[in-house]
Each structure stands twice: as structure tokens, then as C-alpha cells.
Amino acid sequence: MRFILNIIQLLIGITLGLALMVGGSLAAGYYLFTKFSITPERPSFSEEKPKTPVLASPPAVNTPNPPSPSASPAPPSPTPAAGLYKGVINWSEGLILRDSPGNNSNRIGGVGYNQQVIVIEESEDKNWQRVRVVATGGVGWIKAGNMDRIP
């Protein structure tokens, strides 16, 4: 009789051990699957954030100032020098500004889609253009053929 009780005790021990191992594995698997199945929140980049509107200042009292006799007309807006022309970037992802013509040159900035640029010069092989970004004043080289000329 003692022999049968020892066998039953052995079988119960093995069954409980297997049940604990299977249960622990299932719990760990459930935890990991639920942890990794959650999609992270979408990152927000500064380019995508809406620009805050400029608040209008209260209306100012308009007091007429007498015109000064030595008032000179406002200087005309700067126009590109001879040989230069304006253009607008037509590459939908924007372009990289580089410090010299070539794909292996250092990146110094970027030009966004539909931004105006002024072409300063072109490389000897006409594959690169040196431009000045109108909005930021940044100067660098871009790959030719990625902008439309503005008349």
C-alpha cells in the first residue's frame, strides 16, 4: 500500500510541476504579446505642427504725421543680379543643401517643396546648382533638374 501511495504522490508532483511550468509560460507569453502588440503613439514633427496664428494687436489710434520734406522713396526690392534667376523647388520631398557639388558632400541644410530659391551659379557639368533660399537666406548646392524656373 505504501508503494502505491508513493507512485500516486510522484504522479501528482509531476502533474503539478508541469501545470506550473505551462501556466507560467502562458502567462509570460500573454504578457509579452500584449506588451508588443500595442502600437506606439504617432510622433509629431515640427514640420507637421500647425503654425500658431499671430494675434492681431488692438487697433492703434491713427494720428496724421506731417510729411517730412526730406523723405526719400523706399529702396526697391533686391532683384537677382545678371545671370541669376529665381526658381521654385518641384521635388515633393524637398532637397538637401550641400556644401559643394556632389552626392558625397556634407549636408548643411534643406529646401522644402514649393520654396523659392535664387540660382547663384551652376557646376561645370550642369548637374548641380548653387542656390540661395529666399525664406532663410541659406546658401548651398542642390541637384539640378529639381526646380521650375520662375519668369
- pLDDT, tens only, 118-137: 999 998 898 999 999 998 88
- % of the chain at pLDDT higher than 70: 77
Contact criterion met (CB below 8 Å) for 132 and 117: yes
Contact criterion met (CB below 8 Å) for 118 and 132: yes
- The answer to whether the predicted template modeling score (pTM) of the entire model surpasses 0.75 is no
- pLDDT computed for residue 82 by the predictor: 46
- pLDDT computed for residue 40 by the predictor: 80
Mean pLDDT calculated for residue range 34-60: 71
DSSP 134: T
- pLDDT computed for residue 67 by the predictor: 57
Average pLDDT over the chain reads: 82
Q: CA-to-CA distance for 108 and 105, rounded, in angstroms?
A: 9
- pLDDT computed for residue 44 by the predictor: 78
- % of the chain at pLDDT higher than 90: 45
List, for residues 55-66, the tens digit of each pLDDT value: 555 555 565 565
Report the topology of domain 85-149: SH3 type barrels. (2.30.30)
Q: CA-to-CA distance for 133 and 87, rounded, in angstroms?
A: 10
Q: CA-to-CA distance for 52 and 44, rounded, in angstroms?
A: 15
124-150: b (≥16 Cβ within 10 Å) or e? eeeebbbbbbeeeeebbbbbeebbeee
DSSP 65: P
At residue 4's C-alpha, the angle toward residues 3 and 6, to 5°, is: 65
